[in-house]
């Protein structure tokens, strides 16, 4: 059980002990707090102090690992949390789940939900692959707008 002297401020995401600000960033960019001799991730501690239970998985909605405002935190599945990440640097399609098939020169579209990949097809035009991906996203209500492909420019 966390130390009862810790005060969490949901609007700012900050933590205080006896009026003094506490918390440090680790190498991965997450804020942690030492309490009862243990290192606690601040976003998990914020959830506990607000909801009275430890979360299974917490997503930083805006992808900023040190923004622990309650409005920026949500409990979700690991699968949904893993969708809320930026595109990989090598992604040239501009769309998650759409990549160039090197052997054919065409575009592969797929989607992963709840740990299962679904192949959506091989397309000559990247716009068609993105269209297939967007259509597949619509069939999964557990995905919200942050996990959907942005409109093609």
Could you tell me what percentage of the chain is helix, strand and coil, using 3-state DSSP and rounding each to the nearest 5? 25, 30, 45
Residues of the chain with CATH 3.30.730.10: 87-147
Residues of the chain with CATH 3.90.75.20: 6-75
* 3-class secondary-structure state, position 15: strand
- pLDDT reported for residue 1: 41
Residues 72-86 pLDDT 10s: 999 988 877 877 777
Residues 15-29 pLDDT 10s: 999 889 999 999 999
CATH fold label, 6-75: Homing Intron 3 (I-Ppo) Encoded Endonuclease; Chain A (3.90.75)
- pLDDT reported for residue 152: 37
> Domain 87-147, CATH 3.40.109.10 — does that match?
no
Band (140; pLDDT cuts 50, 70, 90): confident
- pLDDT reported for residue 142: 62
- pLDDT reported for residue 83: 73
């Amino acid at each position: 059980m966390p130390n009862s002297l810790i005060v969490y401020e949901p609007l700012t995401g900050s933590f205080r002990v006896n009026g003094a600000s506490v918390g440090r960033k680790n190498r991965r960019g997450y804020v942690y707090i030492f309490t009862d001799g243990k290192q606690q991730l601040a976003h998990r501690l914020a959830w506990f102090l607000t909801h009275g239970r430890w979360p299974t998985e917490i997503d930083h909605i805006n992808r900023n690992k040190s923004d622990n405002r309650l409005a920026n935190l949500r409990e979700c599945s690991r699968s949904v949390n893993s969708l809320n990440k930026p595109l990989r640097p090598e992604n040239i399609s501009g769309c998650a789940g759409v990549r160039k098939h090197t052997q054919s020169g065409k575009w592969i579209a797929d989607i992963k939900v709840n740990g299962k990949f679904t192949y959506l097809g091989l397309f000559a035009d990247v716009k068609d692959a993105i269209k297939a991906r967007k259509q597949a996203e619509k069939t999964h209500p557990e995905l919200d707008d942050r996990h959907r492909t942005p409109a093609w420019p």
